[in-house]
Amino acid sequence: MSRILITGASRGLGRALVPALRGRGHQVIATARNLSDLDDLDADIKLSLDVTSAESVDNAVAECGVPDVVINNAAYSVAGPLEAVETDAFERLLNINLLGPHRLIAALMPGMRKRGSGLIVNISSGTARGAPPLQGAYAVSKAALNLYSQALRMEVAPFGVRVLSIEPPGMKTDLVGAQPTYSRAGYEAYERRGAEMKAQRPGVDVDRVARKIAFAISEEPFSEHIGAAEFLVQTH
């Protein structure tokens, strides 16, 4: 059994990961920016954690200690042509999707190095390999997280800490539906194409993705990377 901390557990993949991991005997620390969003979630421990706040990260770590596994799942998205995406929105996206994992990793890594073990799981996206129409900002943040994971993996391996990068395909969650959308005249063809792609591929069931991740964390041999295609061919 491992103690596993999940960020962004209030909805979507983060919420689905809680029962998937507990079903495999793990102790789950579910976190979300608003603690009340976790009221109906059956987790072992529930904590308030805002990954954009160093103080919030430090408080959460002080309360729960250094877990065996951390899953950096909290995410944010915006849509629209890059020229139209407001700088403040782009900064918020990077603050959550890239700097958020960094804050938590920086806070936990000294304890993991001292212990000589740990697993960092960074939830990236299939879009990191190729951005669909008008999803460039989100894709940029996830591509950066992939490179972050690659560098971190090499740096911390000598200390017994492992890094798993996961690139799920599009899932049936409210992440896209709730994203702010920006537009500019002249991009109508891309908007139509984006709508067509969404209709053609409505998304993979989030519970299926969660079960695959829970299996990867729990079983050997250990994987360093799980690409989008692997979620489409096998369910555990």
Residue 227's Cα: distance from chain center in Å? 14
Residue 124 annotated in active site: yes
CA distance 148 to 227: 16
In angstroms, the Cα distances linking 114 to 6, 104, 105, 194 are 22, 16, 14, 47
3-state SS assignment for residue 70: strand
Which of 56, 124, 149, 165 is catalytic? The answer is: 124
**Considering only CA atoms, which of 109, 71, 70, 78 is closest in space to residue 94?**
78
Phi, psi of 77 (to 5 degrees): -140, 150
Let me know: does 145 contact 139? Beta carbons within 8 Å.
no
Which of 138, 148, 182, 187 is catalytic? The answer is: 138
Residue 141 annotated in active site: no
**Considering only CA atoms, which of 98, 132, 128 is closest in space to residue 200?**
132
Let me know: does 218 contact 22? Beta carbons within 8 Å.
no
Give the containing element (helix H, strand E) for 106.
Answer: helix 100-115
Which of 142, 165, 187, 218 is catalytic? The answer is: 142
Residue 165 annotated in active site: no
Catalytic residues: 124, 138, 142
